[in-house]
Structure 1
Amino acid sequence: MKEISLTRGKISLVDDDDYEHISQYKWHVSSNGYARRNVPHATKYGKRTQLLMHRAIMGLSHDDKREVDHIDGNRLNNCRANLRICSHSENAKNKSPYAHSTVGLKGVTKKGRGERWKAQIMLNGRRKHLGYFATPEEAHAAYRKAAAELHGEFARLE
């Protein structure tokens, strides 16, 4: 594993086999935390577009609608063992809890002013209610069980 220096003092990790090819370009950190570089647009003369490092490593062209999932959630870990090609729906299953979450547990929200905790999971673009629980830990356990069953290898359990 080797490091690629990025802007803002960040680094991206890549496999030794990818280092020679990837290191010949200057890479930046995008506003959403991915390693990227500017390249000429494939079909629009004089226009530029962004190439994301993980897509370059996995061999996906700009017009390929498939996505690349970072298994560990670290957008700068571009080692092949941490990357997998997937659909948008599969990629969404591996999201971290929302940054504005007051609970910090994926799939758990507080229900009203009472002491009840609601567990829910997204399935086919819709929220599926999993029940109300006395503690956030119990609600999260219900979410984890449902995620393992419904999302399989793409389940983000923490």
Structure 2
Amino acid sequence: MKEIDDLMSLDLIRFIPLTKGEIAVVDRWMHDALVAMGSWYSDCGYAVRRAGGRRTQYMHREVLILAGHDITGLEVDHWNGDPSDNRQCNLRPATPRQNCANRRQHSRASEYQGVYQHKDTGRWQARYKLKGQGRSLGCFATEEEAALAYDVKMLEFHGHWYKPNFPLKLFYECGGPPIVKRP
């Protein structure tokens, strides 16, 4: 990964070995404090350790606490979606709703989040949930059109917390969210 190589050459990051042959990436200035806490292991990609008997400590939470953030009652979101990347610039305090907005969930029928193939017509449908209720954005001729419609709606709801199907660069290059014509 070019970004990691660039940061290593500038001596800005360090690696902390975890179990299962995995590693956690941390800022250079944070490394010694995290290692001093004890050994860390991998749990579903997250760097964790046991503290005070049964209490589990997550490295990403410790990084923000050491950096002076008050995260009481909040979750910690990994901006890039990589749970092993615990650099401070990749972490941000988030409410549970904000943290879920950054989560990638693919349907079984499509490679895009929020897109399903309608079982009767075979057309592509964009769907989302609002307060537990399923909502449809309509049916579209292509998977990509349905994914764009979903992205526009989720960006409206979640703003920069949402991780879109398509790069945000596409929205800015064409002067805003695409206008998707519904059939």
TM-score (norm 1): 0.86
Question: Is the Cα contact below 8 Å between 2:109 and 2:115 reproduced in 1?
Answer: no
Written as runs of structure 1 = structure 2, the 5 A alignment for 1:50-69 is 50-59=56-65, 64-69=72-77
| Matches of 1:91 and 1:126, distance apart in 2 | 20
Q: Aligned residue for 1:43?
A: none
Q: Is 1:95 equivalent to 2:108 in the alignment?
A: no
Written as runs of structure 1 = structure 2, the 5 A alignment for 1:1-158 is 1-24=13-36, 25-30=38-43, 32-40=44-52, 47-59=53-65, 64-98=72-106, 101-158=108-165
1:54: Cα distance to partner? 0.4
1:126: Cα distance to partner? 3.7
| Matches of 1:91 and 1:5, distance apart in 2 | 26
Distance 1:74 1:118, change over 3 A: same
Unaligned runs of 5+ in 1: 41-46
Please state which structure has a larger fraction of its residues in strand.
Answer: 1
| Matches of 1:107 and 1:141, distance apart in 2 | 10
Unaligned runs of 5+ in 2: 1-12, 166-183
Question: Is the Cα contact below 8 Å between 1:115 and 1:134 reproduced in 2?
Answer: no
Q: RMSD in angstroms over aligned alpha carbons?
A: 2.0
Residue type of the alignment partner of 2:142:
T
Number of equivalent positions: 149
Distance 1:66 1:125, change over 3 A: farther
| Matches of 2:54 and 2:154, distance apart in 1 | 39
After the TM superposition, which of the residue ranges 10-19 and 114-123 deviates more from structure 2? 114-123
Distance 1:125 1:69, change over 3 A: farther
SS class of match (2:80): coil
Please state which structure has a larger fraction of its residues in helix.
Answer: 2
1:111: Cα distance to partner? 1.1
**RCO (CA 8 Å, sep 6+): is it higher in 1 or 2?**
1
After the TM superposition, which of the residue ranges 3-12 and 143-152 deviates more from structure 2? 143-152
TM-score (norm 2): 0.75
Question: Is the Cα contact below 8 Å between 2:76 and 2:93 reproduced in 1?
Answer: yes
Residue type of the alignment partner of 1:97:
Q
